[in-house]
């Protein structure tokens, strides 16, 4: 019988993360301090993030970073995640392509986000921090950080983008089961939130705004650090456990991907899956294509500019050299809350600038159409974010069919959509709108 799913034993789970910046010829440009205009220092970062994450953020020399035993032990609660051969999807499309997906939706919190949340919470705990704040869009990251905080005995406070807070009440409940304090953003609990609500009382929020609020709360609270779910290089570093596992699992399947695809919000699941494979491009051994699938409503990679910009609405974060739509960009209320972010991580931005990765934009209805086909064929209802990767995968698989090419495609199923059924309802009833950049 043909093999459907590939697992690693617990001893084969990676014990090191991969730091791609060590292998990049053109390193990402340095982040700048908003206060001094100079390259940001570890000490400045450590005012906001844990010391170890600050160190990792600026490390562009060590190729491999050890995964602490305590984190790796918690990884075994759900890792390795399965690499799955999508026979069902291949058959539905009638494509000669071999399609694989790395199923990060099986994590306790339903997405890849836990890979970094556990690391960040662990470092905070080790450094004597007692409280963590963060922001969340669809709620995937907030859920992950809430659970990771519970695991390592920290208090967590989560600002959730208001549109998602309202569209996805179940995720709020899940965060609360894990003991988090959840506040819809913009809120009146911070200066940043008040400023925005004063100008636009009905504003439905964005990741940029929620970040401002979480950062402000962290700065005002003793013993409190801030944790970010994407964008930053240390977050993507933690996510490379996805690609490192997938590399071993593809080897078990006897294949190597020609094309690797992931959805793109800030870039953490994209970098997490792609960078370990990309290192073989950088060393000249492979010529794999890497495709970032972003929403047409928030097309920073395909339509943004590469420039220094803030990571948040209010301008609290360092200035990041990245593809951006502007830190005051207000994305339409698409269901893929995790992709509603104005900028791209600095590593992915540099790689795109250098032509080492590609980007494609996907309309909302195209994403959900792909998601429904995938659900029927593979039995898993994908997160709205992941639907974008699936749509991009299907487009490539259809090209393979048209050209009669048997390529191997790997994509990241970053999360499941079980908490996003109102979005599917809307799609199935024909009431879903396509948004373009506003």
* Nearest approach, Cβ of residue 189 and a second copy (Å): 21
Least separation, in Å, of the C-beta of 6 and a second copy?
10
State the nearest-atom distance from the C-beta of 368 to a second copy, in Å.
Answer: 10
Q: What does the alpha-carbon distance between residue 115 and residue 234 come to, in Å, rounded to a whole number?
A: 11
User: For the chain, what is the radius of gyration of the CA atoms?
Assistant: 20
- Closest by Cα among 108, 110, 171, 120 to 145: 120
> Which position among 422, 434, 435, 437 is part of the footprint of a second copy (CB under 8 A)?
422
Give the burial class of 329: count Cβ atoms within 10 A of its Cβ; 0-12 exposed, 13-18 middle, 19 or more buried: buried
Tokens standing for residue 130: 């007692």
Question: Which of residues 119 and 196 has its CB atom nearest to a second copy in the complex?
Answer: 119
Find the binding residues for a second copy in span 29-88 (CB under 8 A).
Answer: 69, 72-73, 76-78, 88
If binding is defined by CB under 8 A, does position 91 make contact with a second copy?
Answer: no
Q: Which is nearer to a second copy, 59 or 365 (CB)?
A: 365
Q: Which stretch binds a second copy (CB under 8 A): 7-15, 24-32, 219-227, 387-395?
A: 7-15
- Find the part of the chain contacting a second copy (CB under 8 A) among 46-54, 105-113, 295-303, 332-340: 105-113
For residue 196, the number of C-alpha atoms closer than 13 Å in the C-beta half-sphere is 27
**Own/partner pairs, 426-433, CB within 8 angstroms, 24+ separation:** 426/335, 427/365, 427/368, 427/369, 427/372, 428/372, 432/364, 432/365, 432/368, 433/364
User: CB 2: neighbour CB atoms within 10 A?
Assistant: 5
Only segment of 131-139, 212-220, 321-329, 372-380 that touches a second copy (CB under 8 A): 372-380
Query: Of 44-52, 258-266, 300-308, 413-421, which segment contacts a second copy by CB under 8 A?
Result: 413-421
DSSP state of 327: T
Smallest separation (angstroms) from a second copy to the CB of 207: 23
The distance from CA 234 to its chain's CA centroid, rounded to whole angstroms, is 12
Least spacing, CB of residue 176 vs a second copy, in Å: 6
Residue 181 interacts with a second copy (CB under 8 A)?
Answer: no
End-to-end CA distance of the chain: give it in Å, rounded. Answer: 50
135-154 residues near a second copy, rule: CB under 8 A: 147, 150-151
| Farthest-apart Cα atoms in the chain, separation | 63
Q: Does 174 bind a second copy (CB under 8 A)?
A: yes
Measured from the CB of residue 425, what is the shortest distance to a second copy in angstroms?
5
List, as one string, the DSSP characters of 118-156: HHHHHHHHHTT--EEEEEESSSHHHHHHHHHHHHTT-EE
Position among 106, 197, 282, 395 found at the interface with a second copy (CB under 8 A): 106
Residues ≥6 apart with Cβ < 8 Å to 273: 102, 239, 242, 243, 246, 260, 262, 410, 411, 412
- Is residue 1 near a second copy by the rule CB under 8 A? yes
* Least distance (Å) between residue 246 CB and a second copy: 17
Q: Would you tell me which residues interact with a second copy (CB under 8 A)?
A: 1, 3-5, 7, 10-11, 69, 72-73, 76-78, 88, 106, 108-110, 147, 150-151, 169-170, 173-174, 176-179, 372, 375-376, 378-381, 418-419, 421-422, 424-425, 428
């Amino acid at each position: 019988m043909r093999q459907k799913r590939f697992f690693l034993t617990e001893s084969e789970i990676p014990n090191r993360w991969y730091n791609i910046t060590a292998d990049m010829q053109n390193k990402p440009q340095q982040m700048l301090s908003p206060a001094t205009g100079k390259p940001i220092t570890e000490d400045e970062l450590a005012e906001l993030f844990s010391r170890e994450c600050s160190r990792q953020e600026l490390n562009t020399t060590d190729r491999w970073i050890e995964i602490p035993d305590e984190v790796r032990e918690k990884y075994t609660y759900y890792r390795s995640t399965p690499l799955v051969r999508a026979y069902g999807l291949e058959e539905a499309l009638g494509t000669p392509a071999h399609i694989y997906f790395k199923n990060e939706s099986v994590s306790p919190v339903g997405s890849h986000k836990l890979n970094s949340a556990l690391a960040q919470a662990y470092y905070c705990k080790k450094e004597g921090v007692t409280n963590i704040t963060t922001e969340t869009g669809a709620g995937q990251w907030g859920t992950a950080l809430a659970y990771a905080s519970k695991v390592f005995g920290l208090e967590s406070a989560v600002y959730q983008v208001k549109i998602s807070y309202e569209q996805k009440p179940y995720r709020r409940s899940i965060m609360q089961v894990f003991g988090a304090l959840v506040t819809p953003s913009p809120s009146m609990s911070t200066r940043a939130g008040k400023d925005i609500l004063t100008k636009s009382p009905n504003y439905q929020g964005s990741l940029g705004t929620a970040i401002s609020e979480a950062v402000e709360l962290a700065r005002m609270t003793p013993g409190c650090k801030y944790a970010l779910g994407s964008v930053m290089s240390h977050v993507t570093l933690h996510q490379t456990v996805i690609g490192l596992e997938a590399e071993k699992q593809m080897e078990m399947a006897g294949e190597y991907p020609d094309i690797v695809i992931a959805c793109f919000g800030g870039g953490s699941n994209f970098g997490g899956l792609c960078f370990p494979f990309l290192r073989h491009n950088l060393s000249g051994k492979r010529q794999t294509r890497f495709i970032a699938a972003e929403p047409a409503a928030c097309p920073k990679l395909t339509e943004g500019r590469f420039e220094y910009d803030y990571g948040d609405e209010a301008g609290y974060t360092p200035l990041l050299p990245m593809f951006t739509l502007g830190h005051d960009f207000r994305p339409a209320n698409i269901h893929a809350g995790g992709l509603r972010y104005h900028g791209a991580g600095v590593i992915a931005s540099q790689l795109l600038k250098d032509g080492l990765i590609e980007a494609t934009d996907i309309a909302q209805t195209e994403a959900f159409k792909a998601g429904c086909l995938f659900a029927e064929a593979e039995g898993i209802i994908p997160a709205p974010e992941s639907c974008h990767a699936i749509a991009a995968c299907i487009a490539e698989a259809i090209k393979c069919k048209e050209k009669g090419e048997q390529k191997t495609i790997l994509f990241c199923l970053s999360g499941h959509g079980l908490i996003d059924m109102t979005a599917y309802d809307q799609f199935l009833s024909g009431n879903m709108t396509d948004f373009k950049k506003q």
